Chain A
């Protein structure tokens, strides 16, 4: 019995570890999407942040400098996205994909040029990483708590503040916001910058908290899974958080089920277990979620009438 208990606790801890970057990305993406800016570039922001976090931490021997660099890197990409989509009213999906490709290439090129390790950064020692605070076994570093905290904060900002009200309005009907004398671009820029902040934290988590160094493409599609979580959560913070946890739990279970003989079934093939998150995604999308309603103005550049 005790063994089962430890296994359950360990699986939950693993869920939280795996879900942390998803949660941060989803909350960041929420701000952006709520304001009407679709953000396919979450993945690229996270990857760039992960690289700069590890590179800076390796050079300065300080994890916190790494976190700072990660946020700056992600914000730079966020501003670029904003410049293309808000100022110049470019296609938001195209800009996002361009950011992803940019990040994928740039991290490896810079990494090879600076560290000559095939795109990896040097392995980080304990002092250059964010270490667990209370439970070394669970891996509860400061960013995990930040991710947990980000959910109510996001909810409060979006649902309970004047800024949030305007943000939602600008995502639904920017014309009305503009007519009320509030700057649409400035609101959207703030949303995009908030998104960069969260994506930066998620990237730093990947390279200097969960792992000890950057390796190429280490985000491995998690930015897109976070996007899926936003859609599952119907653009609301707590349901999106739940979706992230569900993905994390599936992953944690998949890892632990490998090679385990289940009573009555026998050993489950690895391939089936690894396909489970995707099967569940299809299943959920097809049946459970129903119609999802995106912010009306999402993806539509706002053009001021003259």
Chain B
């Protein structure tokens, strides 16, 4: 009898220990709130999704997701996740900044990661990118690839963040070819501008009619229409955020990579290892947060000479020899 009790106790103790051990490496409950562009925009949101998927595969930890159908749902979604004890929560896109600031104050013990904007709270990690540096490089490529010397830019919503892409792009163009001309269009002034491929295509066609032969699409889902228009007209398109070269091989000059996938993945990884830190992270060329895409889909369009020039400029930006002006530093493209 005593033996039985003894073994029972030891079994219980072992089970208890195991429970404690499990609590120490308790799997985190990460969550993502996407932006209005939608999870599969082949661009910005999809990048975050890829990062989350990679984390999911490696760790077998489920990642909760929410795709808002309009911007009023951000706050609800963030709060719902926080109430359920999801931690950390990634908020994708500058448009969530206001909602996130509010919810983060209500839940000081939950960790939030905001991509593309800054909220200064101890439990918020803000990840922003030096889009101007990546855009500078693709601007150089555009200027070198253009035969007409006219290059187009179609942005999504007309906000300083998109102007930053445009401004870096313009600097890159002028750096490679001071005589090249840039024609800029914005799709709209509301968040719907991220999701209007029809209008994007029309804007791009309008630019082609004016002689443009390379167009840079920095417009979320709208970009799909812009790049499609480039393919339909036999022009060159430049993708953004994720590597979009595979969309139209042969008509995609390159893509400006914004490694939001890394940002999402790193944030989850850090949380898992209990090393998550608040504060602002600025990822540029140096930190491999932005880059340009070269793969089998566009290698025929990039001559060795173009690659050499861009690589040289990239090194110069990393070393600080070339400083790419940031539109958002003074809300102007003139430094």
What residues of chain A have their CB less than 8 Å away from a CB belonging to chain B?
A: 6-7, 10-11, 14, 17-18, 108, 116-120, 123, 136-137, 139, 206, 210-213, 215-218, 220, 251-252, 255-256, 258-259, 270-271, 274
What residues of chain B have their CB less than 8 Å away from a CB belonging to chain A?
A: 38-41, 45, 67, 69, 158, 183-186, 188-189, 192, 195-199, 201-203, 205-206, 209-210, 221, 224-225, 228, 232-233, 247
Q: Do the beta carbons of B197 and A215 come within 8 Å of each other?
A: yes
Residues on A with C-beta less than 8 A from B186 are 258, 270
Residue of B195, B199, B206, B247 with most partner-chain A CB within 10 A: B206
Residues on B with C-beta less than 8 A from A118 are 38-41, 45, 67
Q: Do the beta carbons of A220 and B198 come within 8 Å of each other?
A: yes
> Given that A6-B209, A117-B40, A118-B41 are contacting pairs, would A215 and B228 also be in contact in the complex, using a CB cutoff of 8 Å?
no
Residues on B with C-beta less than 8 A from A255 are 185, 199, 202-203, 206
* In the bound complex, CA of A18 to CA of B233 (Å): 17
Q: Do the beta carbons of B196 and A220 come within 8 Å of each other?
A: yes
Q: Do the beta carbons of B40 and A120 come within 8 Å of each other?
A: yes
Residues on A with C-beta less than 8 A from B183 are 259
Closest 7 pairs (CB-CB, A-B): A118-B38, A10-B209, A117-B40, A118-B40, A255-B206, A118-B39, A212-B228
Whole-angstrom distance from the CB of B71 to the nearest CB of chain A?
A: 14
Residues on A with C-beta less than 8 A from B41 are 118
> Given that A118-B41, A259-B184, A270-B186 are contacting pairs, would A216 and B195 also be in contact in the complex, using a CB cutoff of 8 Å?
yes
Residues on A with C-beta less than 8 A from B198 are 206, 210-211, 218, 220
Whole-angstrom distance from the CB of A219 to the nearest CB of chain B?
A: 9
- 16 pairs, A vs B, C-beta closer than 8 Å: A7-B209, A14-B206, A108-B69, A118-B41, A119-B38, A139-B232, A211-B201, A213-B197, A213-B224, A215-B195, A216-B38, A218-B198, A220-B192, A252-B202, A256-B209, A271-B189
Q: Do the beta carbons of B189 and A123 come within 8 Å of each other?
A: no
Whole-angstrom distance from the CB of A249 to the nearest CB of chain B?
A: 13
Whole-angstrom distance from the CB of A97 to the nearest CB of chain B?
A: 18
Residue of B45, B201, B205 with most partner-chain A CB within 10 A: B205
Which chain B residue has the least Cβ–Cβ distance from A137? B233
Which chain B residue has the least Cβ–Cβ distance from A118? B38
Q: Do the beta carbons of A210 and B184 come within 8 Å of each other?
A: no
Residues on B with C-beta less than 8 A from A213 are 197, 224
Find A270's partner among B40, B158, B224 (CB 8 Å cutoff). B158
Which chain B residue has the least Cβ–Cβ distance from A104? B69
Which chain A residue has the least Cβ–Cβ distance from B46? A118
Q: Do the beta carbons of B228 and A211 come within 8 Å of each other?
A: yes
Find A18's partner among B184, B197, B202 (CB 8 Å cutoff). B202
* In the bound complex, CA of A18 to CA of B41 (Å): 24
Residues on A with C-beta less than 8 A from B247 are 123
Q: Do the beta carbons of A123 and B228 come within 8 Å of each other?
A: yes
Q: Do the beta carbons of A215 and B185 come within 8 Å of each other?
A: no
* In the bound complex, CA of A123 to CA of B251 (Å): 15
* In the bound complex, CA of A96 to CA of B232 (Å): 36
Whole-angstrom distance from the CB of A103 to the nearest CB of chain B?
A: 14
Find B189's partner among A10, A120, A252, A270 (CB 8 Å cutoff). A270
Q: Do the beta carbons of B40 and A116 come within 8 Å of each other?
A: yes
* In the bound complex, CA of A194 to CA of B262 (Å): 53
* In the bound complex, CA of A218 to CA of B99 (Å): 27
* In the bound complex, CA of A255 to CA of B187 (Å): 9
Which chain A residue has the least Cβ–Cβ distance from B204? A255
Q: Do the beta carbons of B195 and A217 come within 8 Å of each other?
A: yes
